[in-house]
Amino acid sequence: MTNVDRAIVNLNRNISERVHSQTISFNDFLKILTERPDSVVRNIFQTFHDMIRNSVGVGREEYPDDPESINYVNYDCRNLFVNDTDRPFFADRLFANRLINHVDAMKGSARQNKIYIFEGPPGSGKSTFLNNLLLKFEEYANSDAGMRYEVVWRLDRKVLGQFNETQVSPFVDRLSNLLDEYELGQSELTELKNALHRDSDFVEISCPSHDNPLLLIPKRDRRSFFDDLFKNDEFKWKLFTDKEYEWVFRETPCTICSSIFNALIKRFSTSMDIYHMIHARPYRFNRRLGEGITVFNPGDRPMKQNVMTNEQLQRKIDILLGDSNAVKYLYSSFAKTNNGIYALMDVKSHNAERLLELHNIISEGIHKVEDVEENVKSLIIALMNPEDEKTIEGFQSFTDRIEFINIPYVMDLNTEVEIYRNIFGKHIDESFIPRVLHNFARTIISTRMKTTSDAMLEWIGEPEKYGQFCDENLQLLKMEIYTGYIPAWLSEEDRKRLTAKRRRQIIDESEKEGVTGFSGRDSIKIFSDFYAAYARKDELISMSSLNVFFTKWRTDLKEMLPEGFLDSLLRNYNYTVLQEVKESLYNYNEGQITRDLLNYMFAVSFEPGSVAVCRFTNEKLEISEDFLHSIEGRLLGMEIDEGARRVFRLETQKEYASRTLTQEILAEGKDPAETGLYQSLHERYVHNLKGKVLDPFLDNDNFRRAIKDYDTEAFKTYDKRIRDDVSFLINNLCEVKYHYTKQSAKEVCVYVIDNDLARMFPS
């Protein structure tokens, strides 16, 4: 035998072994069921849920201890929509939460008889979303983690008394002659011939509806069967009580499987003989072949003949069972996606007809094939533009079965930036001063938002009080809420007023946004023009560039922006970078702060003029008005009036005596620096120190010049104190806190000084 012949024979053997090894007996299926019940007992809805949850994980909550949380979390959807795809789809935080909430609800049986329509304007990425979703589902369903089993009947000719040697021998003889030509060894030839004879002993019938083998257990016997099969554990409890498992006890096998089962009951005295003929194999999904996943485009014409059969297999069944009416091997194209996904790319043209045809299937889960009823329990998904809703108008019973899921333009600024990075390359960040790229995204998103928000106005009440940080329509604040972030410039009162109910109302308003304004395609084209115009090797793109682009170069775009938005965006940017510079320059001795606060907590209980040793620092204190005033000035600001200072001192003394000393320190044994009063005082102290940190440098020309000369030979000529301050500032901006580059850090520091932002935003 030549090497080529040997390779072909071995290849044939390997493929045959793999194919046959995939089919297992009913008993082996039950063994796998008891080992992995959670993965085996799954319908399409549970599998779809598991696929998405496995891909995105649990999500991250920025404020996990917030009692007013609404579980609006940050899901990482890259494994689902971006990684290993031809065209990535970027799901923003709003859509990701919307999708997960629907999928979690879909898992329960209450929402299974529905069609899920993803509705969004042109350019929102609907087609890319669905293609990537189906790609990942197909990969998951064909993996070990997503594997489910379907019924395969292996009807034994000998047992049924219908084996006919003359039907097989001629074929075996002809194939033997062909194999002899390859000069196979006698043992190999005998093995292959025996295998052919063994296979001819059975008529193999695959369930065209991909039924789970569990459905071949009679409905009235399933509870007792599962009670015997499973031990008393968590899964068994869920199986018998959870709504998501109702299908296990309610659904029936397809008409073909039911007919075969009923025909065999008449032949055998015991059902054990029937179950020996029931086998299982993995349900393999293949979108291109329409197995498990079928996708229709609007231009795909309906099939002229939607009734499928197999005449050769039908004759074998009739001969084997001796009754031509016992089993009708008929099914439709819907059977191929039973327990799979049936998808319509756009509800128009022929897909509009297909959608209406789904009416009875969705409501009853049954499709008529000639005079036979066919089960259809598929996940049905469609894509729709808002203007195509007229297709289903007037069909109230139908619309009740539809679950709309909005897929609008991106409303999360972080996701919008990720789209730019994906298309133009991650290196684009190097061309921008930090925050300017995100402010471009804010500008684009502002056109997609409504200018009036009832939920925001009900929460804030008077938007003008935040005029230094936000626009009058509160869009900038709303954008932050959409990203899951609560800005630091909000007052403590408004922060407390952001209850779970209000937060949910704000998020719910996103359902009606993102359908107008710059589309995804528009924003990419606009960014391309902007980047091409201002990206330079020797100069970073600044807020000035952003402002000029929209107000002077592309005046046509400015008409789309809310009035005054760019001015508000600049004020917000100015405030933010000022805080970053202050935070980076802050370099006070934490040990000294701790001593000041512990001494003050102790001293407020004494009258001015007293002398006492602090029990926390062991320092001898001369408690005078000057001593108390100096610390209160850092806690409250030097501008505070005497009356307010007195009230603050009395409240601190009362809190210290009634709770801090007696309960937290003495009763609970807390360290004084871990008490609630200390933490509150520390926050005030540091906040006020940071607010004044720039004051010594505002009119210091040497400080400004040293910043510009940083990282050059000229920088070495400056006084050591200035060099230390500038180095500390730049290092914090670059490495420790905000990830600036040296160039962008220098530019933003000079920007803060030249525009006198410290006086524009006093503490």
Q: How many CB atoms lie within 10 A of CB 440?
A: 27
Instruction: Look at residue 183 in the predicted model and tell me its pLDDT.
Output: 52
CA separation for the pair 474, 494 (Å, rounded): 13
pLDDT digits (tens, 9 = 90+) for 694-712: 877 777 888 999 999 999 9
DSSP string of 540-568, one letter each residue: -B-HHHHHHIIIII-HHHHTTSPTTHHHH
CA separation for the pair 196, 178 (Å, rounded): 14
Strand runs labelled E in 336-474: 341-344, 366-369, 372-375, 379-384, 402-406
CA separation for the pair 470, 5 (Å, rounded): 77
**3-state SS, residue 220:** helix
* CA dihedral over 423, 425, 426, 429, signed as positive or negative: negative
CA separation for the pair 535, 262 (Å, rounded): 75
Instruction: Tokens 């990075």: give the residue.
Output: 421
CA separation for the pair 245, 248 (Å, rounded): 6
CA separation for the pair 668, 663 (Å, rounded): 6
* Low-confidence residues of the chain: pLDDT under 50: 18-21, 162-172, 175, 189, 192-193, 195-199
Find the distance separating the first CA and the last CA of the chain, reported in whole Å. 91
Residues 506 and 453: beta-carbon distance below 8 Å: yes
**3-state SS, residue 108:** coil
**Bridge partners (DSSP) listed for residue 384:** 119
Q: Percent of the chain beyond pLDDT 70?
A: 91
Instruction: Look at residue 111 in the predicted model and tell me its pLDDT.
Output: 56
Classify residue 127 by burial, with Cβ atoms within 10 Å: 0-12, 13-18, 19+. middle
Instruction: Look at residue 79 in the predicted model and tell me its pLDDT.
Output: 96
Which residues, 6+ apart, have CB-to-CB distance to 421 below 8 Å? 428, 429
Q: How many CB atoms lie within 10 A of CB 239?
A: 21
CA separation for the pair 120, 106 (Å, rounded): 20
The token pair that represents 129 in the structure block: 């979303």
CA separation for the pair 68, 506 (Å, rounded): 14
CA separation for the pair 579, 576 (Å, rounded): 5
Residues 342 and 300: beta-carbon distance below 8 Å: no
DSSP-derived pairing of the beta strands 202-206 and 149-156: antiparallel
DSSP-derived pairing of the beta strands 366-369 and 372-375: antiparallel
Residues 482 and 526: beta-carbon distance below 8 Å: no
Residues 52 and 80: beta-carbon distance below 8 Å: yes
Instruction: Tokens 């493929």: give the residue.
Output: 15
CA distances (Å), origin 404, targets 40, 91, 739: 30, 17, 41
CA separation for the pair 456, 109 (Å, rounded): 36
For residue 237, give the amino acid letter: W
CA separation for the pair 593, 616 (Å, rounded): 13
Instruction: Look at residue 343 in the predicted model and tell me its pLDDT.
Output: 96
CA separation for the pair 106, 91 (Å, rounded): 19
Instruction: Look at residue 20 in the predicted model and tell me its pLDDT.
Output: 46
Burial 75-112 (b: 16+ CB within 10 A, else e): bebbebbbeeeeebbbbbbbbbbbbbebbeebbbbeeb
Nearest CA-CA partner of 214 in 37, 66, 2, 35: 37
The DSSP code for 403 is E
CA separation for the pair 738, 4 (Å, rounded): 64
The token pair that represents 324 in the structure block: 């031509």
